[in-house]
Chain A
Amino acid sequence: MKTAEVYEHEQGWNFEKAAMPYVDSLYNTAYRMTRNSEDAEDLVQETYLKAYKYYDKFEEGTNFKAWLFKIMKNTFINNYRKKKLTPHKIDFSEIEESYERVIQKNAPDLIRDPESEIFQDMMDEDVKRALDSLPHDYKMVVLLADIEGFSYKEIAEILDCPVGTVMSRLYRGRKMLERTLLEYARKYGYIRGVAEPAKMRSRKDETKGRKKKEEPEGESEVAEPEENEEEVLFTGGEDDFELEDEEEQQEEFAIE
């Protein structure tokens, strides 16, 4: 027969065994969310402590990794976003148009030869900056889907939103990210022959000149207010996929 102590101890051990394998994933995402290692460590630690505290609430057989991410996301919102919760307003038609512009103007060669190596020279710092230029909600879905490999359904669970919203945000987030990367590629001369000489600077100058763009503004940034229409793109009844409801959506996309 187990005493309470033994049980608690075992629970702690079980939790540790179950949760520690995800520490790198959580840390990686936490770092992308908070943008610095100190806050990322705090966020991950708080996530683990909460998760341990509520471990008995975790439903066996459901996705433990997604559960941890959900706790982290809630913790993040409580701790960090309260302070400066300025909702990002986005003009979605502008995203489409500017994406097309960028493709047509800067990357005709790219379309002709998508296997070309132009991106290999891009600095990690630029990739990071491109991701950080996304509005938080869009950055989150891109991270969760494309870096962490969660399914739409898991992301919907983590973020507490409908699957259709996840898909809309993914579509737009990926588009914004690609557009920004293509713009950087041209501006900093990674697309050969297309770069504007005036904008080609040495790498040293680069880091200096770019530091101040932490706060997004300027050409690659998402423009003008247009009330929250993000739900529209892939939710029920839209002509995009002739989706009538959740059920049909499941069928349509064969969500696991």
Chain B
Amino acid sequence: MLCDDVKRIAYFFLDGTLGEQKKNDFSAHLNLCPECEARTKLHRRLRIFVRNRLARLTAPDRFKQRLMRTLRAVAAEWS
């Protein structure tokens, strides 16, 4: 596996969706190529970073309550 191949499938390696053979080739390449290893680490870091920063929103409580009231009203209406 060449550096270009590694670059192309790095995200999918991180997703854990590569087949066994590809995964092994990928890991073998990283062991020999510091640049690809660093790149892959950077991808992983950025992904975790984005996830941590973006996953914070939760629906406001008053909205949840309103939503449940609406659902119950609709359910009652339809029954």
List A residues at the B interface (Cβ < 8 Å). Answer: 4-5, 8-9, 11-13, 15-16, 20, 23-24, 26-28, 31-32, 37, 41, 44-45, 48-49, 52, 103, 107, 110-115, 119, 122, 124, 127-128, 131, 143, 145-147, 151-152, 167, 170-171, 174, 177-178, 181, 240-241, 251-255
Q: How far is the CB of B2 from the nearest CB of chain A, in Å?
A: 13
Q: Taking chain A's interface residues, is the majority helix, strand, or loop, or is none over half, making it mixed?
A: helix
Question: Which residues on B sit within 8 Å (CB–CB) of A16?
Answer: 68, 71-72
Which one of A9, A12, A112 lies within 8 Å of B71 (CB-CB)?
Answer: A12
Cβ contacts under 8 Å, B60 to chain A: 37, 41
Contact check, B75 vs A31: say whether CB atoms are below 8 A apart: no
**Quick one: closest A residue to B70, CB to CB?**
A45
Question: Residue on A with the closest CB to B75?
Answer: A12
Q: Whole-angstrom distance between the alpha carbons of A151 and B65 in the complex?
A: 31
Asked if B55 lies at the interface with its beta carbon under 8 angstroms from chain A, I say yes
Question: Are the C-beta atoms of A52 and B51 separated by less than 8 Å?
Answer: no
Q: Chain B contacts of A124 at CB under 8 A?
A: 53, 56
A48 and B15 in contact (CB under 8 A), knowing A4-B79, A128-B54?
no
A7 to B, closest residue via Cβ: B79
Pair B59/A27 contact, Cβ less than 8 Å: yes
Please name all residues of chain A whose beta carbon is closer than 8 Å to the beta carbon of B50 when the two chains form the complex: 127, 131, 146-147, 177, 181
A44 — which chain B residues lie within 8 A by C-beta?
A: 59, 63, 67
Partner pick for B15 among A8, A45, A145, CB 8 A cutoff: A145
Q: How far is the CB of B56 from chain A (nearest CB, A)?
A: 8
Instruction: Kindly list chain B residues whose C-beta atoms are within 8 Å of the C-beta of A131.
Output: 50, 54
- For residue A167, which residues in chain B have a CB less than 8 angstroms away from its CB? 12
Cβ–Cβ < 8 Å partners of A114 in chain B: 38-39, 41-42, 45
